[in-house]
Homo-oligomer: A and B are copies of this chain.
Amino acid sequence: MSSLADLETPCALLEETRMERAIARMQQRMDALGVALRPHVKTAKCVEVAGRQRAAGARGITVSTLKEAGEFFAAGVDDILYAVGLAPQKIGPAFDLVRRGARLKVVVDSMPAAQALAEAAHREGVRIEALIEVDSDGHRAGVPPDSPLLLEIGRTLHRANGGAGLLAGVMTHCGASYECRGEAALVAMAEQERARCVAAAERLRAAGLPCPVVSVGSTPTALFAARLPGVTEVRAGVYVFYDLVMAGLGVCAPDDIALTVLSTVIGHQRDKGWVLTDGGWMAMSRDRGTQAQPLDQGYGLVCSEAGEVLGDWIVNQANQEHGIVEHRGGVAGAGDVVARFPIGTRLRVLPNHACATAAQHAGYVVVDGASVKARWPRFNGW
């Protein structure tokens, strides 16, 4: 197989040169800021993609599930941060990974979780590193950097294992960066993420507790941070593919996006200006991340088979295996869709949210323009 024309649709295409450019851009930025890059592999869930990130200089990985931790450890990556608050029921599987040699770091943000971890580590004699999650933006989990709880959790983790201690540092994720509008807001949000996480680290140290790791990040804050003093590492995920949400934020351009879904025209409703394709929500995901942005891209922005953005054509509606492509200008803007997009025409669609769209596929067809170079598997599940 050597050409896009031979591919069955729908399928996920990965433009390798765009991905390599994105990896290089992020690594260069982190190098310039003097921090380590720990990519979040939840976007691609693909050993080959993480291999490119590591080859470019990334140190360790971030995961969103213990399944990812196990898969990447089996593929030779041992420095792994599991960045979701550890449920007590997951302590056992996490310890199994540590016993097998993984340098797994886990995250807690409450006393019950810290105590459960400390007690289990003591009982089972397992040395696992724990980070305290800090709330830097009010959007999800974490303890406020100025709260008494921060020190209470810190002491509980540090006292564990007869003083050998589990406390390895602090981490935060500034998901509110996805709602920023404009460069100044992104720069300010990156500084807020940094300052609050570093403040938490300094409070721990001032209380006599160790805090070697100060881990921050999201793709927007990573790329817009002006300076990162006090930070030791940055985590970012979606930059490896980018997507329309990132383009809407000004983090990338649409033609930086490495992931597209190839689909085929299967019909029309000429009077409505509709082009029906076999790329429905099962191929695109139900993610409507651009809905709240100034430019709503529907279920995705339509490109030619070669990958050129066609203009104002979007997948405006989606059923399970049907996409409905429409022109932003409606019937008047569409012209004769039957003549323009005959049945059998191939279209590529840029996704709203690469993490969600990629998860709908079992793997990536790696392409360079119209030429197929490889197939890389990905995995899902827990």
- Assuming the A-B contacts A84-B322, A141-B322, are A356 and B113 also in contact, with contact meaning beta carbons closer than 8 angstroms in the complex? no
Interface bracket on A = 35 or more
Write out the residue numbers on chain B whose beta carbons fall within 8 Å of the beta carbon of A343. Answer: 87-88, 110, 112-113, 116
A89 touches B141 (CB 8 A): no
Task: Tell me the bound Cα distance from A90 to B344 in angstroms.
Answer: 10
A72 contacts B by Cβ under 8 Å: no
- Interface of chain A: mostly helix, strand, loop or mixed: loop
Write out the residue numbers on chain B whose beta carbons fall within 8 Å of the beta carbon of A276. Answer: 85, 140-141
Q: With both chains docked as a complex, state the minimum distance between the C-beta of A243 and any C-beta of chain B, in angstroms.
A: 13
Tell me the A residues contacting B by CB distance below 8 Å. Answer: 8-11, 42, 64-65, 84-90, 93, 109-110, 112-113, 116, 135, 140-141, 175, 264-269, 276, 278, 281-283, 285-288, 319-322, 324, 342-344, 353, 355-356, 359-362, 380-382
A112 touches B342 (CB 8 A): yes
Write out the residue numbers on chain B whose beta carbons fall within 8 Å of the beta carbon of A353. Answer: 286
Task: Tell me the bound Cα distance from A133 to B74 in angstroms.
Answer: 49
Task: Tell me the bound Cα distance from A47 to B33 in angstroms.
Answer: 54
Task: Tell me the bound Cα distance from A286 to B87 in angstroms.
Answer: 23
Contact among B9, B93, B286, B322 with A356 in the assembled complex (CB-CB below 8 Å): B286
Q: With both chains docked as a complex, state the minimum distance between the C-beta of A140 and any C-beta of chain B, in angstroms.
A: 6
Q: With both chains docked as a complex, state the minimum distance between the C-beta of A223 and any C-beta of chain B, in angstroms.
A: 20
Which residue in chain B gives the minimum CB-CB distance to A63?
Answer: B321
Write out the residue numbers on chain B whose beta carbons fall within 8 Å of the beta carbon of A266. Answer: 84-87, 113, 141
Q: With both chains docked as a complex, state the minimum distance between the C-beta of A198 and any C-beta of chain B, in angstroms.
A: 22
B87 touches A264 (CB 8 A): yes
Write out the residue numbers on chain B whose beta carbons fall within 8 Å of the beta carbon of A86. Answer: 266
Write out the residue numbers on chain B whose beta carbons fall within 8 Å of the beta carbon of A324. Answer: 140
B42 touches A109 (CB 8 A): no
Write out the residue numbers on chain B whose beta carbons fall within 8 Å of the beta carbon of A286. Answer: 285-288, 353, 356
Write out the residue numbers on chain B whose beta carbons fall within 8 Å of the beta carbon of A42. Answer: 320-321
Leading 4 A-B pairs by shortest Cβ distance: A286-B286, A85-B266, A112-B343, A64-B321
Task: Tell me the bound Cα distance from A360 to B361 in angstroms.
Answer: 11
A278 touches B8 (CB 8 A): no
